[in-house]
Homo-oligomer: A and B are copies of this chain.
Amino acid sequence: MKLGDGVEQSIHAVALLSGLQGGAVLPAASIAEFLGSSVSYLLKHLQAMSREGILESVPGPKGGYRLGRTAEKISLLDIVLSVEGPRPAFRCSEIRQRGPNQLPKGLYLQPCTISVAMLRAERVYRAELAKTTVAEITTQWLAQGEGVIAARSWTFLEINKRSQT
């Protein structure tokens, strides 16, 4: 099992954008520059997050991305589901109904117990991801690296942001 690289990039992108203030936006190219990633690859995820309301996209020459709602209301689960899609990692293909000597469908009214157990684990995974917000992530950054890590992103935003006024 592997989460796509897009998840890590997208969480970092949202965390960076949470430092913008006063309606300013950051162009996709600047976000990609800060993350050291490819713009075209990142754009796909920025657009997915915009569709889900996590980000807001402002079009035009002064356009770019900003948060669609406050960082307190964006959880890691919101970002993971937006990038990876809502389907569970375990996808029951009803193996119990395959093979020789098949039984009548009516005997399989209850879901397969393997599927039930696998999905129960995914529920606790998602619940844990839902507990952590992007606001908490960036608050923790302030306590790390003597605050210089957070200051680096603020400086980058100051230089590259596009005000909308």
A5 to B1, CA, bound (A): 11
Q: How many copies does the complex hold?
A: 2
Flag if B92 contacts A8 (CB, 8 Å): yes
Selecting from A17-25, A43-51, A110-118, the interface stretch reads A110-118
Would A35 and B95 be within 8 Å (CB), given that A2-B89, A141-B113, A149-B103 are in contact? yes
CA distance A125 to B36 in the complex (A): 30
**Is A164's CB within 8 Å of the partner chain B?**
no
A75 to B98, CA, bound (A): 24
Asked if A41 CB lies within 8 Å of chain B CBs, one says no
Chain A interface, number of residues (Cβ within 8 angstroms): 62
Partner of A12 from B33, B37, B95 at Cβ < 8 Å: B95
- The interface residues of chain B lying within 8 Å CB-to-CB of A108 are 144-145, 149
Residue of B nearest to A144 (CB): B110
